[in-house]
């Protein structure tokens, strides 16, 4: 199975967007023409000149008053009425916004049902440079087995992002796109055991140590951080990471490790304010570069920040605060695949 890339030559495939607090959506690249804009989950196709406006060469679209595309004014992003605050099962908001108020939230399909997919032809070749180190000298055993076509097993430990939250397969709505690591393993024909648990940080890894040690995987993918940013200094995180790896190597000396840096969350939420995410990413870059070749880094954080130079947080979110949408899961998968098989996915 071949994963559909975010873009292929000049064709930009199903770039995500949401009219949230603005009637303008930025595109990653200037567009020669819009091939199609549709609602992400229902597939409803929208019309240029009626539902959106785009002029050849523009790197954005706008929403006219005649549009059928969902629109959320700034006030809707900070609800104050009819609140059902998380952790209510049907929560539509979280509290602890940095201004003391609330933020729009949904742990099911709300965002997928209100975001759009934009497929277009760019005016030129995409100039996106992910700046990911090749790391071809790392994960030697994994790479040798992959090249030989041998069967590989991966275990994933992490939080709700890694569990697949807000991917449409997870919330059981079209287009039923899987979470990022399932995409990776489908692409590389790897058997995946997903032991990610929602709401957890790296300290939880020691509570499930017996489980993933018993897996004896070829590759242990470690993807925590989002739930650690606000509660655990990065120095302590790195201590736990080293212990986790040392414990695993003591039992399964063949296991290699892929450490994943996390996306950034909503900058207006107390638990995901900018700063700690960058410190974590920087700390992990330095730590992994000093590790033996049995460890490599998938620097999602670096790639995510590059997307945020053009896209808004609401273009990429699956729950409004700290999960990716389908497109965000594709960013995760593309970053990891570029590290694991040395092919270009951006």
The 10s digit of each residue's pLDDT in 59-74 is 999 999 999 999 999 9
Chain mean pLDDT for the chain: 97
pLDDT of residue 265: 98
| pLDDT band per the 50, 70, 90 thresholds, residue 340 | very high
pLDDT of residue 247: 98
Residue 2 has pLDDT above 90, yes or no: no
The pLDDT of 153-166, averaged and rounded, is 98
Residue 10 has pLDDT above 80, yes or no: yes
The pLDDT of 156-182, averaged and rounded, is 98
Residue 226 has pLDDT above 70, yes or no: yes
The pLDDT of 120-136, averaged and rounded, is 96
pLDDT of residue 343: 87
Residue 135 has pLDDT above 60, yes or no: yes
**9, 13, 91, 155, 198 from 158: Cα distances, Å:** 33, 28, 23, 10, 8
Percent of the chain with pLDDT over 90: 97
pLDDT of residue 342: 84
Residue 1 has pLDDT above 70, yes or no: no
pLDDT digits (tens, 9 = 90+) for 253-312: 999 999 999 999 999 999 999 999 999 999 999 999 999 999 999 999 999 999 999 999
- Regarding pTM above 0.75, the answer is yes
Residue 79 has pLDDT above 90, yes or no: yes
pLDDT digits (tens, 9 = 90+) for 173-182: 999 999 999 9
């Amino acid at each position: 199975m071949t994963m559909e890339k975010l873009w292929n030559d000049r064709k930009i495939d199903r770039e995500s967007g949401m009219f949230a607090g603005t009637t303008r959506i930025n595109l990653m690249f200037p567009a020669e023409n819009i091939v199609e804009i549709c609602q992400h989950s229902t597939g409803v196709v929208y019309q240029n000149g009626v539902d959106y406006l785009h002029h050849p060469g523009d790197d954005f679209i706008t929403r006219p008053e005649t549009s059928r595309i969902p629109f959320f004014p700034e006030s809707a992003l900070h609800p104050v009425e009819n609140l059902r605050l998380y952790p209510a099962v049907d929560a539509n908001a979280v509290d602890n916004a940095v201004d003391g108020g609330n933020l729009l939230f949904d742990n099911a399909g709300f965002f997928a049902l209100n975001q759009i997919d934009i497929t277009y032809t760019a005016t030129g070749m995409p100039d996106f440079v992910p700046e990911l180190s090749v790391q071809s000298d790392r994960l030697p055993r994994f790479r040798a087995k992959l090249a030989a076509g041998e069967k590989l097993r991966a275990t994933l430990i992490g939080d709700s992002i890694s569990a697949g939250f807000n991917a449409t397969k997870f919330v059981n709505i079209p287009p039923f796109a899987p979470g990022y690591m399932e995409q990776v393993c489908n692409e590389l024909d790897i058997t995946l055991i997903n032991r990610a648990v929602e709401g957890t940080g790296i300290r939880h890894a020691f509570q499930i140590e017996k489980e993933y040690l018993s897996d004896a995987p070829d590759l242990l993918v470690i993807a925590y951080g989002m739930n650690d940013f606000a509660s655990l200094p990065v120095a302590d995180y790195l201590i736990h990471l080293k212990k986790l790896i040392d414990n695993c190597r003591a039992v399964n000396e063949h296991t290699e490790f892929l450490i994943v840096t996390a996306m950034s969350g909503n900058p207006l939420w107390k638990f995901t304010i900018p700063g700690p995410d960058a410190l974590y990413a920087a700390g992990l870059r330095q730590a992994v570069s000093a590790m033996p070749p049995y460890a490599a880094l998938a620097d999602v954080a670096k790639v995510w920040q590059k997307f945020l130079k053009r896209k808004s947080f609401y273009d990429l979110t699956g729950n409004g605060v700290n999960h990716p949408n389908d497109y965000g899961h594709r960013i995760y998968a593309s970053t990891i695949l570029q590290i694991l098989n040395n092919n270009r996915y951006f």
